Copies of this chain bind each other. A is one copy, B any other.
């Protein structure tokens, strides 16, 4: 390739971004076709094509077979949250991981849990509550209901040395997951294990998973005060 970077597709991309930033081209506006742009900018049509593809992949251009290419209107943004193992998340912060089992018992789940997962109201669950620690400080409280009809071998696991979070990931994949993020006052049940002060607010990640049509689990992961869930896009 004899094309030098200074005249490459990145330069064309920058020029399109400049025109958008200076409102020469506004959301919804059509832009010239590739041949005209190539002639105007003095580069190969393939170079323009590569630049427009990159901008289109970023969601900045709408390219339609009929009607040509337009500057995208962006009614919906997206943020992708990665949900790592808690142990991995703590290790990635350079902290020492700790784990403590608080409660483990076979029980019938609250009606809201069995209804959301789609089990019978009297289905058998294993209820496992545990604490994840980073450098000895509470990091997240895991309050989990496991559907024993789907995962009967959870009965044989004490969850004293391994968290249900990690055991399930190792044990069984899922095909569908629902997540809900909300905020709760520290005064909410059990949050005492997180060493909270009365006025604290906590972020909760509730997650349900299924394998095919078989419900696996619902978990509330409640994070210690100050926790932030970050994404890039």
Contact = CB atoms under 8 A, between A and B. Distances in A.
Given A58-B175, A77-B84, 13 more contacts: A17-B212, A18-B212, A20-B211, A21-B172, A23-B153, A74-B174, A76-B85, A80-B81, A177-B232, A181-B229, A182-B228, A183-B227, A201-B202
A170 interface: yes
A233 B23 CA distance: 36
A72 interface: yes
A178 B231 contact: yes
Contacts of A75: 84-85, 88, 169
A214 interface: yes
A35 interface: no
A113 to B, nearest CB: 16
B230 A179 contact: yes
Interface of A: 14, 17-18, 20-21, 23, 26-27, 58-60, 71-85, 88, 150, 153, 169-187, 199-203, 207, 211-212, 214, 225-233
B177 A79 contact: yes
A203 B229 CA distance: 11
Contacts of A17: 175, 211-212
A183 B202 contact: yes
A182 B204 CA distance: 9
20 contacts: A17-B212, A20-B211, A26-B171, A59-B173, A71-B173, A75-B169, A76-B85, A78-B82, A78-B83, A79-B81, A80-B80, A81-B81, A176-B232, A177-B233, A180-B230, A180-B231, A181-B228, A183-B225, A185-B201, A201-B202
